[in-house]
């Protein structure tokens, strides 16, 4: 049962939007469309949907079960179910992972705010070389990226200190609909460009000839990372769920929202890129170098429209970054204020200040100094590598083993069926997946990252 003094979501819609906001991030906007386009278009999307059903949704439900049952921060929720065994450290691993991701993710989130500002004052107009040089000079600047990192932390901090209903839920009810409105506006503008149909075809026309082992492994990896498994966000938000929340239905709804954002992002990017003959690249280069060039060329005849679309796009990115950052911040805030027995505001300040310092050093490593690089990787790259390729799959794998092989099956069934008030027809399938299938799939994702397979 939940502590009556803890926060909780005030409505089902608020809960879904907040949790979906935690899952939807920058990866949906650049990584998914690029992977779909390169690996079979609609064929990849179909494989991805299968991966979500086999891996993403069962893992999300698992974190829901732990979070709601524990009704506390992620570390304590695992500890309650671990009964004094070493399994409790899985919760601490998730909190640590969320803490480290918060630090470096805020750097890229800050870049989005810089590009909103740059769009407003018209700094992004120019040829491809100018846009490339603009990004490189900005990323290497010792001051501006850190300033924007601090700004986005302060915005996030302001939301977090107002609690679950007054902060996270209220902000999510504004930001998630705004995200979809902005997406739809840019999709329409992009699809009305000359030759935009080629971009739509590139994304949505199935090419089953490209479907091979790598497509399956990449789809599994994308389904795992896209849904924010293993970093404490899902578990922490679930601790604010009511006993009436249908965990399976909620996981399904959040997965649909996550997929919808990703596909709409593809319909936003590819038609515009194909219209001007620019091949979309992956990663930060797509967001901060390729797309400004795409917008400049695509709307050259109507510069004002190009300016509006560019501005809306970077506002969209900032919203996506902020909803994810809020969930990461809350993972750590809830941990500190509950474990240190301090108030929420003090817990939030610990996270904001410490993660801003981490973010500053990660930012410095990207060009301001060469003293923060080791073995060919910058500090930013090391944070990304250790959290993304090691800690996240490790936490996901251990969570499945924890629930599948250690926690009493009755606890899982009670949570899944809301203590018998819901029909548990799918429980057997869910339990089989997390006990046998999901651990194997996560292991495959882990090995594929290191090119062991």
CATH assignment of 12-449, among 1.10.3470, 3.10.580, 1.20.1740, 3.40.50: 1.20.1740
| pLDDT for res 5 | 55
Q: Which pTM does this prediction carry?
A: 0.95
| CA-wise closest residue to 400 among 439, 372, 428 | 439
pLDDT value for 1: 40
Digit-coded pLDDT (tens) for 69-95? 999 999 999 999 999 999 999 999 999
pLDDT, position 2: 41
| 286-325 confidence digits (pLDDT tens) | 889 888 988 888 888 888 898 999 999 999 999 999 999 9
- φ, ψ (nearest 5 deg) of residue 262: -65, -45
pLDDT of 202 reads 86
What was the pLDDT predicted at 303? 87
Tally the residues of the chain. 453
- Ordered by start, the domain boundaries in the chain are 12-449
Rounded-to-integer distance, Cα 225 and Cα 239, Å = 21
Q: What is the pLDDT of residue 4?
A: 44
pLDDT digits (tens, 9 = 90+) for 101-145: 999 999 999 999 999 999 999 898 888 889 999 999 999 899 999
pLDDT in tens, 37-63: 888 888 999 999 999 999 999 999 999
Using 50, 70 and 90 to split pLDDT, how confident is the model at 283?
confident
Among 13-27, 162-176, 199-213, the minimum mean pLDDT is found in: 199-213
């Amino acid at each position: 049962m939940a502590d009556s003094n803890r926060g909780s979501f005030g409505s089902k819609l608020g809960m879904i939007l907040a949790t979906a906001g935690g899952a939807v991030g920058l990866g949906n906007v650049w990584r998914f469309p690029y992977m779909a386009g390169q690996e079979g278009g609609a064929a990849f999307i179909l494989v991805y949907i299968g991966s979500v059903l086999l891996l993403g949704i069962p893992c999300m439900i698992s974190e829901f079960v732990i979070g709601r049952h524990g009704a506390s921060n992620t570390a304590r929720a695992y500890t309650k179910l671990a009964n004094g065994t070493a399994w409790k450290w899985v919760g601490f691993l998730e909190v640590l992972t969320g803490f480290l991701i918060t630090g470096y993710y805020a750097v890229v989130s800050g870049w989005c705010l810089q590009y909103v500002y740059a769009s407003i004052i018209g700094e992004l107009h120019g040829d491809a070389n100018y846009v490339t040089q603009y990004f490189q000079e900005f990323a290497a600047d010792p001051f501006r990226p850190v300033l924007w990192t601090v700004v986005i932390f302060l915005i996030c901090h302001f939301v977090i200190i107002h609690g679950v209903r007054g902060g996270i839920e209220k902000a999510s009810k504004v930001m998630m609909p705004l995200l979809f409105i902005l997406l739809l506006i840019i999709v329409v503008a992009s699809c009305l460009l000359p030759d935009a149909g080629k971009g739509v075809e590139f994304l949505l026309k199935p090419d089953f000839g490209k479907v091979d082992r790598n497509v399956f492994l990449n789809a599994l990896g994308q389904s795992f990372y896209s849904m924010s498994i293993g970093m404490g966000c899902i578990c922490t938000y679930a601790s604010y769920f009511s006993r009436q929340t249908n965990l399976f239905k909620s996981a399904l709804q959040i997965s649909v929202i996550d997929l919808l954002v990703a596909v709409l992002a593809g319909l936003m990017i590819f038609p515009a890129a194909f219209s001007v003959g620019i091949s979309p690249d992956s990663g930060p280069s797509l967001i901060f170098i390729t797309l400004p060039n795409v917008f400049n060329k695509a709307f050259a005849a109507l510069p004002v429209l190009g300016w509006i679309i560019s501005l809306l796009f970077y506002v969209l990115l900032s919203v996506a970054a902020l909803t994810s950052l809020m969930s990461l911040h809350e993972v750590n805030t809830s941990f500190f204020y509950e474990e240190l027995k301090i108030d929420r505001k003090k817990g939030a300040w610990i996270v904001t200040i410490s993660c801003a310092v981490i973010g500053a050093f990660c930012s410095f490593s990207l060009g301001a100094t060469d003293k923060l690089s080791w073995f060919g990787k910058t500090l930013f790259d090391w944070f990304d590598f250790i959290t993304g390729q090691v800690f996240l799959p490790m936490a996901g794998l251990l969570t499945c083993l924890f629930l599948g092989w250690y926690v009493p099956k009755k606890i899982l069934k009670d949570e899944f069926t809301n203590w018998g008030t819901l029909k548990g027809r799918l429980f057997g399938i869910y339990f089989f997946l997390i006990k046998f299938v999901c651990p194997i799939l996560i292991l495959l994702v882990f090995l594929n990252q290191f090119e062991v397979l």
